[in-house]
Amino acid sequence: MLGISAAGSRKILAIVALTTAVALAGCSDIDDVMFGDSGSDQSAPATSDNSTPGTLSSDNVATAGTLPGSLPNSATATAAGPGITITAVAIEPGSDTGTAVGQKVGQLRADLTSLQDKITSAASQFSDLRSQAAQSAGGYHEAKAQITTRLQLGTTRGNPELVAQWNTAQTSLDELTTNINSLNALGTAIAGDSSRAHFDLDTIQATFNVSGAVDEDHRQLSVLEDETDQSIVLIDRLMREVSEAVQRQTAYVANERANLTTLASAIKNGELYGSELGSPMLASSSSIYTGGAPSGSALVTIRFDHPDVQYQQILYTALAQALQSRPGAGFDVVGVSPTRGTAAAVQLAQTDARRHAQDVLRSMTEMGVPATRLNLTSATDPSLPSTEVRVYVR
């Protein structure tokens, strides 16, 4: 059991960030709820529906870092990213044989040439989007690293400089969300090109059976069939790469939004916690927390026997250890009040215990513990000299 005594010391620990996969909902007013009064009177709405509502304006906003620019591309070969090369198929020109089949061959060749242009354009767009994502990710991690460094060294509560850097990090994640939307749109367009390529291939194969063709018509049809097959291979490869990029970036943004929520709480309190607590535990466990009365020894006991008890860091450390050993765990937060004194004193103590328990539960959600894993109750203990909040593992 971890306890905070009357002379509870304030501990600041550097916790290595954990990768997470579930983003928590943002507060409705990030200025007041997450950071408190930072001294700035300017605000602007977030640029994405997925972002935390509200941002703070500051002259000290960090400039987003950049990674190397977009990869080179040309009309015939486009580098869609490291290790990914999409080279357009060279379409062999053909002569008009003067037959009806020859005219159809010319139409099919024009369609395939147009499809090659679309493949090249899609690969170039994919390259640009990857480059933009790298720049946004670099800007995000630069701002996040600056915040983490300041918190690790120690800083004031709700430091407006850190708030500005937090807003910069959030903006970078918003840019990544926009990038994901663009990748989804690109994937839809490529899927349409794939359908057209398969339709053209079926048409080419059917044209072999049309009467009235000369040998040259069949030779050109054979070339077109091979070129269409190669084009389908390129399209399928590009579709796969775009799909994988969407999945990676979606998981990444969800992870980092959860981490950013925890970081906001750390800025509010002026000390470093660590990563968001809930997501990896949820991803690795199928157990369900159903609540119920607490039993056994408390994981953490926080004694509120003086004002401004600093319990957040010790609470975070205990929660992280508990979730590492029991990923499916839930938590009971119990406000315990003494029963000494007059009836009015007992009632006042019960009110204080409920308020402190609500504060502890709110801190736990800000640290990343899903609200569905938490249960708030109250109890009394005649032996207590002051109110306590006990956190039990379930």
Tens digits of per-residue pLDDT, 73-116?
333 434 444 546 677 777 888 788 889 999 899 999 999 889 98
Indicate if 201 and 314 belong to the same structural domain: no
- Among 269, 300, 330, the domain boundary falls at 269
Is 29 part of a structural domain of the chain?
Answer: no
Rounded to whole angstroms, how far apart are CA atoms 259 and 169? 11
Residues (pLDDT < 70) of the chain are 1-85, 273-295
Specify whether 196 is located in the same domain as 332.
Answer: no
Choosing from 269, 304, 319, the residue where a domain stops is: 269
In a domain? residue 147 = yes
Shared-domain flag, residues 331 and 228:
no
Same domain, 262 and 123: yes
Whether residue 66 is contained in a domain is answered as no
pLDDT at 295: 67
Q: Examine residue 221 and state whether it is found in any structural domain, yes or no.
A: yes
Does residue 44 sit within a domain?
Answer: no
CA atoms within 13 A on the CB side of 105: 30
Q: Which domain holds residue 164?
A: 77-269
H-assigned helices in the chain: 100-153, 160-207, 215-269, 279-283, 312-325, 343-366
**One domain for residues 133 and 107:** yes
DSSP 73: B
Q: Is there a single domain that holds both residue 234 and residue 93?
A: yes
One domain, residues 238 and 150: yes
For residues 316 and 375, state if they share a domain: yes
Residues 101 and 194 in one domain: yes
Same domain for 319 and 251: no
Count of the separate structural domains present in the chain: 2
Asked if 222 and 97 sit in the same domain, the reply is yes
Q: Which of 242, 269, 296 is the C-terminal boundary of a domain?
A: 269
pLDDT digits (tens, 9 = 90+) for 222-265: 999 999 998 898 898 898 899 888 888 888 888 888 788 888 88
Q: Determine, yes or no, domain membership for 23.
A: no
Determine the pLDDT at residue 131. 92
Residue 108: Cβ within 10 Å count: 22
Do 351 and 383 sit in the same domain of this protein? yes
